[in-house]
Chain A
Amino acid sequence: MFKWKISSAAIALAALSALQAHAETGVTKDTIKIGMFAPMTGTSAIFGRYTIGVRAYYNMINAQGGVNGRKIEVVLEDDACNPATAVAATKRLVSQESVFAVHGGVCTAAVMAVKKELQRENVPFMNLGAAGASLVDPIASNLFSPLPNTTVVAQTLVNFAMSRPDTKRLAIISHPDDWGKSQLDPAIQLLKDKYKIEFVENVTMERGATDITPQILKLRVSKPDVVLSFLYPTETAIFVRSAHKYGLDAPLLGCFGAPYEDTVRRVDDPDATKNLYIFHALGGSSDGPEMSKWVEMIKKYGAPDGTIGDYDLSGIGGAQVVVEALKKAGPDPTREKFIEVLNSLKNFDTGVLSAPISFSADDHAGVKSGEMMTSLDGKLASVKTWPTSKK
């Protein structure tokens, strides 16, 4: 009798779970759960601002009725830019919160730590802001990156520098860490393959260093036509200041990570920044006409943290792609369908990024170009090749 009771209970349970199993993980009748992780604390906390635009966008979609009748529910975890913490955060999102997909990661090291795990669990993963090319190379079936990666940035800078007339001598300063190297190496490669030259000087700067006199002096001695820099925001500002201080007046190029307006503000010396160009992935400057509707969106639907700038806006492209894929995945979204839709996305214009996003089954690097931000005649301008009005 005891056995009979157990077996009937077992059958009932099995039937119930069979019914339950129909619904995809993270999807309920009226919600879809998206997990996010980003550095909200610690030394890289400024990059946590990528989440601001994204959350505002999801809120806006919800306010407009959601996706196929479901509201997007966001669960945000802090990874403090630390690989072990990122793993814990992601596991919580996947195993405890049972999210449908993950939209997160700004530090490449953190994303790489969870890449294999997420692939094993086949959880769709949209990169939030990490720039390492190793995210999508080697390709993972579930990981998509909607932003220009470090290879793209490096190549854009090199091509831009060489578009300046009579340019033969390029010098470079970078961080010795993974992020710096993943830009330095493609830059050296492209310079050699396409332009058949090498950098005349190649110096490194430690993250957190405040004085780089030896680096500046070495760069100056090499008499470069243009200097490329692959540095984090603070260090970029220090570099620009120091270059000016010691009379290194070649044009300076900065990479993705230190927005132009922020750098100018940090350097606080118009004389030092008059020949500065910084990589720009957005379609315009954050206080210009192109971005104004997104700025308004963040003000209305989001929780801005001070003045709205590039960081807040940069993640929105990815959010749009997520929503688009959810829409197209239909009223019964599954993770497979979601990934399938993403793989077929071509030339998706986000209105935020300067280039459209395209994915395919064997290429998940969604954006392959960017522009350089500078100021021409006192106004911010985004340029693709060297402006003729400047030297």
Chain B
Amino acid sequence: MSSTWGKRLGLAASALVLLLLFAAPKLANGYIIYILAMMCINVVMATGFNFVIGFLGQLVFANTAFFGIGAYCYSIVMVHTGLPFPVAFLAACIAGGVAGLIVGLPALRLTGFQLAIVTLAFNELMRWIYLHSGSIGGGASGMELPDPQFLGLELINDRQKYVFILAVTVVAIWMVRNIARSTVGRAIVSVGAGELAAASLTIPPVRYKIAAFGLSGFFTAIAGALFALLLGRVAPESFSLGQLLLGFAMVMVGGMGTVVGPILGAILLTAAPEFLRNIAGAEEILYSFLLIGLLLFMPSGLFGGLCALIPSLRERHLGAAQ
């Protein structure tokens, strides 16, 4: 099968999937719509996270912090200022990007595990801040959010929200794909593969490391804002260590450092708990087996496994990194 046919098939399949997804509000019940919406949110979150642990290859535990910053920023603007929805949403994204840049700075000085630990601490600190955010952030009980309006359309029930979330997700993925193929993306990957080598090719590592963090924060915060939108409320309980590890797993299961990998991982790990939910206690153990199995036998994740079977699927921009 020549690669042009493969490409055409891939495009056709994607188009069909997109069509189904946009038609879903008419076809499926409220529960399915909600799960699809969560999938989209997790896709964006995993994709954002992938910038740092996949493309850049650094062990960083800050994904839930960015997620929470996006969610809370959106919520605070919606609740406390009278500003319209698009502004709140944009504010969340920018806040995430800025947070990413700030977290990126110490990354320049610290070694791998120290960075991991400092981001872990940062995560827990953010959670403490949410808990003690008093009247600004709702503190321990969280905040109830008003239903937004976007371009004259009301986003009240799940179906309306879902369409918006889906649209944002598609746009975000498209952006990430283009970034991955651009100079920035390739530079980030080469810095991740070997800083000194990258520097010898006149790619300044500092600039691209920080860029990776900023992008990670930006996209993860988008997911956070979408999450707050979907739930209609924000509370500290949603941003725990468990959430962090789930984000990790999504990227790992799907395949780090690729564009498609986190998408696959997010879809799988959003759907799976729905089926496994009522098996008492087994969740954690099954989860650990899954992770162990993957790490031992398929470290490039599901997508890596697929690429091994169908080489034409491989993302060409990554070259030797895969």
> Is A313 in contact with chain B by the CB < 8 A criterion?
no
Complex Cα gap A148–B133 (Å): 28
Beta-carbon contact of A82 and B277 below 8 Å: no
Contact partner of B31 among A40, A41, A78, A92, CB < 8 A? A92
Within 8 A of A (CB), among B288-317: none
> Is A293 in contact with chain B by the CB < 8 A criterion?
no
Complex Cα gap A113–B145 (Å): 11
Q: Give the size range of B's interface with the partner.
A: 20 to 34
> Is A336 in contact with chain B by the CB < 8 A criterion?
no
> Is A95 in contact with chain B by the CB < 8 A criterion?
yes
Q: Which residues of A contact B84 (CB under 8 A)?
A: none
Beta-carbon contact of B31 and A88 below 8 Å: yes
> Is A351 in contact with chain B by the CB < 8 A criterion?
no
Q: Known contacts A41-B281, A134-B141: does B231 contact A83 (CB below 8 Å)?
A: yes
Q: Which residues of B contact A82 (CB under 8 A)?
A: 237-238, 242
Determine how close the nearest CB of chain B comes to the CB of A161; give it in whole angstroms.
24
Q: Mark B108-128, 1 if CB is under 8 A from A, else 0.
A: 000000000000000000000
> Is A84 in contact with chain B by the CB < 8 A criterion?
yes
Q: Mark B233-269, 1 if CB is under 8 A from A, else 0.
A: 1011110001000000000000000000000000000
What is the total of A-B residue contacts with beta carbons within 8 Å?
A: 84
Q: Mark A69-111, 1 if CB is under 8 A from B, else 0.
A: 0000000111001111101110110111000000000000100
Q: Which residues of A contact B280 (CB under 8 A)?
A: 40-41
Complex Cα gap A40–B281 (Å): 8
Q: Known contacts A95-B30, A112-B142, A120-B157: does B38 contact A176 (CB below 8 Å)?
A: no
Q: Give the size range of A's interface with the partner.
A: 20 to 34
Q: Which residues of B contact A179 (CB under 8 A)?
A: 140
Beta-carbon contact of B274 and A177 below 8 Å: no
Q: Known contacts A96-B31, A109-B142, A178-B141: does B238 contact A40 (CB below 8 Å)?
A: no
Q: Which residues of A contact B29 (CB under 8 A)?
A: 95-96
> Is B2 in contact with chain A by the CB < 8 A criterion?
no
> Is B25 in contact with chain A by the CB < 8 A criterion?
no
Beta-carbon contact of B139 and A109 below 8 Å: no
Beta-carbon contact of A176 and B278 below 8 Å: no
Shortest Cβ distance from A75 into B: residue:
B278
> Is A236 in contact with chain B by the CB < 8 A criterion?
no
Within 8 A of B (CB), among A178-200: 178-182
> Is B32 in contact with chain A by the CB < 8 A criterion?
yes
Q: Mark B142-174, 1 if CB is under 8 A from A, else 0.
A: 101000000000000110000000000000000
Q: Which residues of B contact A178 (CB under 8 A)?
A: 139-142, 235
Shortest Cβ distance from B270 into A: residue:
A88
Shortest Cβ distance from B232 into A: residue:
A116
Contact partner of A41 among B140, B236, B274, B283, CB < 8 A? B283
Shortest Cβ distance from A97 into B: residue:
B31
Q: A40-B280, A88-B35 are in contact. List 5 more A-B contacts (CB 8 A).
A: A40-B278, A81-B237, A83-B238, A109-B235, A113-B233
List 16 A-B residue pairs with CB atoms under 8 Å apart, sorted by A's residue number.
A40-B280, A77-B278, A83-B237, A88-B274, A91-B158, A92-B31, A92-B274, A94-B31, A96-B29, A109-B142, A109-B237, A116-B144, A117-B232, A176-B132, A181-B139, A181-B140
Please give me the 8 A-B residue pairs with the lowest Cβ-Cβ distance, nearest first. A95-B30, A178-B140, A95-B31, A95-B29, A91-B31, A178-B141, A96-B31, A92-B31
- A contacts, CB < 8 Å to B: 40-41, 45, 76-78, 81-85, 87-89, 91-92, 94-96, 109, 112-113, 116-117, 120, 132, 134, 176-182
